[in-house]
Amino acid sequence: MFNARVLSGDYTFVRNQDVVFKEVLISEGGGYNSNTGHFTVSIPGVYMFNVQICSLHEQNSWFELVHNGSPLQKSAHFGGKGWNTCVDMQAYAKIALGGKVWVRSTSNSRMYADTDRWNTFAGMLIRI
């Protein structure tokens, strides 16, 4: 199980750029790498992943949750005028030993974080 987040800042991403959630709240087994943003499976099984991405008002965001480079879930988010909003993604996947899961942009995107808008990436093993 792991949970990592970004709590402050305005970030710009280009297409296929990985999102790195620097603050690690928990990483049982050390599978989440806060330098790369990748989670590496140490116990094969079925996993559940959750992602929340927030954007700055009037800015667009395109992100996906990927497993070994293939999409598990995608989101497209169009920020409204005067509103900083968030979008969530959830996915389940059967992952082999050493498999990797991470979040990346699929187009030029913005991510925004403050005390009320947390960007998070979490996952847990739900079945061996």
pLDDT of 77 = 83
pLDDT of 49 = 99
Query: What's the start-to-end Cα distance of the chain, in Å?
Result: 13
Number of domains, the chain = 1
What separation in angstroms does the CA of 111 have from each of 69, 77, 100?
A: 21, 10, 22
pLDDT of 102 = 99
> Domain containing 8 — which CATH number?
2.60.120.40
Per-position b or e across 1-40, b if 16+ CB within 10 A of its CB = ebbbbbeeeebebeeebebbbeeeeeeeeebbbeeebbbb
Mean pLDDT of each 10-residue bin along the chain, 128 residues long: 94 97 95 98 98 87 97 88 85 98 96 90 98
pTM across the whole model: 0.94
Query: Which residue range(s) make up the domain with 71?
Result: 2-127
pLDDT of 7 = 87
DSSP-assigned states of every residue in 67-103:
ETTEEEEEEEEEPPTT--EEEEEEEEEEE-TT-EEEE
